[in-house]
Amino acid sequence: MTKRTLFFALCIGIVAPVASAAAPAAEEEGWTKLFNGKTLEGWHNPYEWGKAWVADKEIRLQADKKFFLVTDKKYRDFVFEGEILMPKGKANSGFMFRCNEKPNKVFGYQAEVDPSDRQWSGGLYDEGRRGWLNPDRENEASVKEFRKKTDGAYKAGEWNRYRIQCVGDHLQIWLNGVQTTDYKDSTDREGYLAIQHHGEKGQIYRFRNLRIKELNEKGEPKA
């Protein structure tokens, strides 16, 4: 081996280990999994009906009446992410946040999952109380603007990713990267997270990759 070849060999030996080291992605810091992919630990069903189980690292729901599977813990300011795969045929669902619960009842803010021709996925609904907040169903201009903004965001027959951010009274929803809701409301300052089955008999709703990043009142990750 010549001196020149030896020199390059030594350089490669020194540099290679450094190049192979990979630092964790900064965007992953601060996230907490809400579902471990194996059990329903951290979740409960406050209803006398409804079936929830784990299969293929997914939470699956089935029922013949509306019900919600709810987190054991309440959250205040946060960013939440989750994915949902809706069944074919008639179905409707949602991700509840800062919600409240009683026996056989869950109510509060909901990020809508609407596979129907209405196309209101990503809207903000006040379950069990005021109804639609965004869009305003009584305001034709509000509905038209919402549909224009969200056209094509929901993907029928595919996994759809939701992102919900709450800081103070500022509520925001994204669907597959498209911001669908930017709304201010102070009715609920904190509460549970929940996933919904609308009650269509025989239909199975599927959820995965549920996680949360808790924030402080300035919208920054908690220390």
40 pLDDT more than 90: yes
23 pLDDT more than 70: no
Reported confidence tier of residue 222, pLDDT bands at 50, 70, 90? confident
User: What pTM was computed for the model?
Assistant: 0.86
Looking at every residue in the chain, the average pLDDT score rounds to: 89
Reported confidence tier of residue 50, pLDDT bands at 50, 70, 90? very high
**pLDDT digits 0-9 by tens, 60-119:** 999 999 999 999 999 999 999 999 999 999 999 999 999 999 999 999 999 999 999 888
With contact defined as beta carbons under 8 Å apart, do 97 and 185 qualify? no
Arithmetic mean of pLDDT, 179-185: 97
Q: What is the pLDDT of residue 13?
A: 40
